[in-house]
Amino acid sequence: MTILASQPDRAARPRRIRVAVDIGGTFTDLECLDEETGAILSHKVPTTPEDPSIGLIDAITSAANRHGFTLDDITLLIHGTTIATNAVLTRDLPVAALITTAGFEDVLEIGRHARRDVYGLRPEERAVLAARRHRFGVRERISADGTILTPLDMADLDAVIDRIAKCGAGVVAVSLLGSFVDPAHEIAIRQRLAERLPDMPCSCSHDVSPEIREFERTSTTVLNALLMPVVQRYVAGLLARTQAAGLAAPLYLVQSNGGAATPVQAGTTPVNLLLSGPSGGVLAAEKVAAGAGRENIVAVDMGGTSYDIAIIRNGRRSVIAQGDIDGLPVRVPMVDMRTIGAGGGSVVWLDSSGRLQVGPQSAGARPGPVCYRRGSIEPTVTDVNLILGRLDAASFMGGALSLDLAGAEAALDRRIAGPLGLSREAAASGVLAMVVARLAGAIKLALFERGLDPRDFALMSFGGAGGLHAIDVADELGMREVVFPREPSTFSAHGILQSDIVHDLARTRIVPLDAAHLDQINALARDLTREGEALLDGDRMPPERRSLGLAADLRYRGQAFELMVPLNALTLTEASLRDLIERFHQLHHQRFSFDDRGESVELVTLRLSALGLLATAKPATWPAEATSAANPPPKAHRRVHLGGVWREVAVFEQMTLPEGVGVAGPAIIEQPYTTLIIAGGWRVAVLASGDLRAIRDAG
């Protein structure tokens, strides 16, 4: 693929462009930062599900042609991808073999005794990543304190490898008891596998999740092994496409913790990519919230497929040590996020009892909603918004895609309104009411389980479909403020622009958190620090662009769960130890409404985050654009169904609104890639950053 000849000559106009790409289920979003001028350029193209890298290259080349730069101008490419998540959700994975300590082959199947349906009479279905015939035990045993109780039996291991070679497995996971303390046996098994089966991908638990809890550690290791060929194949294809297109800039992939990883690192620990794209939006939300002076924000990303919810409290996003992907525990650091299947492309349907349902299945990018004219016959949330006048058929995607209103109306009539005996407007309004209830309910659950009140938070809405529903969701929750980023449709890509290299390390050592064990804890911190520095050395990161931070998983003695508490330094003193314990008590009380200051606190796992700055200059905000009108009039009026009636509503172009101007609802504010619905009783103003702030009237 070559760049169009009409692009400017680099020698005549050299530029330095940093590119971030977020590939979603429906659209591929791109943002470019001109490092010399600070200008931020946005672009959006449909995702190519058959090979997402095709859409990525299309987005970059079309953006280069549109904004007047060449691929030689690109200095850095950072990429958020759903390739790992999609592989897990569709189970498009190879066959996995598991090597574990003899007698513990069924850890994956036993799992935990927690049940979602406590009154169910039948056992809940559980996904088992490695079949029983593919789980093999070897004679060895290392105790929880690192003592070798049974040396590794190499003859037994060779017999196991012979069986693996014949069972049809495509990957091998190794997860032994006690390996989080001493990985010697896992290292020996990996070396023998490399000798006997050199082409077999292998994942070891001490590399992926060196922590206690055999089920979660084993599940994470097996999942990592299963994703290795998927991600490695994708990365190889992506590198080949970028090279063929003439793009020589370094490539990084975004991880679930919001940090970036090299292609080699991503292929070795692909389990870290499971929340790749959405984590960028949370990072950007944290930055915008700080700029707006808002410490408590619920950040929501509504795209074409999903609705992602993250909580920013006291100005900081939350990172957790363990998440859940499609019912599978994943014990790696990730941004704390809740996701439901609700987006603009969510299909509207009737179940067997005739009840109205929305999602979780999505029309995706191909065919997409009915109004996209790509052959779909199932109405979606986007079709409903078009029918009610909330979207403009002629200006969608900046006019690049003309929507089919008649087709959307026919689909809703045929599938929903007719069978329910409702008018078209009543059916469409019912769909939107259900969507708002689902979105608000998911936010309530995310807040209530942390002991938080929605009324203490502002809503920050982004994603291509978020602005259509944000005000209604805020009303449902009793929130009084909504923040819209200046370009919400590509906001996750904007966050990816600010990503840096991040290495997360962890070591489990269960010791009392007291002065008597201070030396032991500091020795563990020094070991982690040395390892983190070595990884940054491998990244060739200069000392002035490094940052190291520690966190501790703490609990009361006897508890079966921990809370992660950041440390304020790389070395603990008796004073900082007391402060750490106090902050644990406070966090425990906030989360569970009680604390026990008479009970001793235990350290379970010490964590290190090693950060390498990819660029010294970060895009703080989008630059404001000049406008000639102090209070520009609406560009048009449109007939919109709001509050149960059709009414003429003023339509504004966001880029023409000057700083400080107030627009009272009901109103519509349009951007090239998204639309904001401002309901009656709300007033929106433009901040100095170009972001929008909507406030509900006191009455």
CATH number at residue 563: 3.30.1490
Q: How confident is the model at residue 624 (pLDDT cuts 50, 70, 90)?
A: very low
Between 170-184, 268-282, 558-572, the lowest mean confidence (pLDDT) is in: 268-282
Looking at the structure, tell me whether residues 105 and 222 fall in a common domain. Answer: yes
CATH number of the domain bearing residue 194 = 3.40.50
Number of domains in the chain: 3
Looking at the structure, tell me whether residues 645 and 605 fall in a common domain. Answer: no
Structure tokens at 204: 């070891």
Domain stops at, among 577, 612, 647: 612
Looking at the structure, tell me whether residues 679 and 595 fall in a common domain. Answer: no
Q: Residues 292-320: what's their mean pLDDT?
A: 85
Looking at the structure, tell me whether residues 102 and 220 fall in a common domain. Answer: yes
* pLDDT given for residue 455 in this prediction: 93
Is 425 domain-assigned? no
Instruction: Tell me the per-residue pLDDT of 145-190, one tens digit each, with 9 for 90 and over.
Output: 889 999 999 999 999 999 999 999 999 999 999 999 999 999 999 9
Is 137 domain-assigned? yes
User: Which domain, by its residues, includes 562?
Assistant: 501-612
Looking at the structure, tell me whether residues 583 and 510 fall in a common domain. Answer: yes
| Residue 452: closest CA among 340, 288, 312, 574 | 312
pLDDT at 620 > cutoff 70: no
pLDDT at 542 > cutoff 80: yes
Looking at the structure, tell me whether residues 645 and 690 fall in a common domain. Answer: yes
Looking at the structure, tell me whether residues 589 and 650 fall in a common domain. Answer: no
For residue 142, give the DSSP letter. Answer: E
Is 130 domain-assigned? yes
| Residue 682: closest CA among 520, 537, 489, 467 | 467
Looking at the structure, tell me whether residues 101 and 218 fall in a common domain. Answer: yes
Helix (H, G, I), strand (E, B) or coil at 521: helix
Looking at the structure, tell me whether residues 138 and 219 fall in a common domain. Answer: yes
Is 387 domain-assigned? no
* pLDDT given for residue 618 in this prediction: 60
Domain stops at, among 195, 228, 261: 228
Looking at the structure, tell me whether residues 670 and 584 fall in a common domain. Answer: no
Instruction: Tell me the per-residue pLDDT of 351-376, one tens digit each, with 9 for 90 and over.
Output: 988 899 988 888 876 788 999 888 88
Highest mean pLDDT among 76-85, 112-121, 628-637: 76-85
Asked if residue 64 lies in contact with residue 70, where contact means CB atoms within 8 angstroms, the answer is yes
Looking at the structure, tell me whether residues 581 and 643 fall in a common domain. Answer: no
* pLDDT given for residue 602 in this prediction: 96
Write the DSSP assignment of 283-323 as a string of letters.
HHHHHHHHHTT-S-EEEEEE-SS-EEEEEEETTEE-EES-E
User: In Å, how far are 304, 491, 671, 682 from 675, measured between CA atoms?
Assistant: 14, 14, 6, 16
Domain stops at, among 173, 203, 228: 228
Looking at the structure, tell me whether residues 597 and 669 fall in a common domain. Answer: no
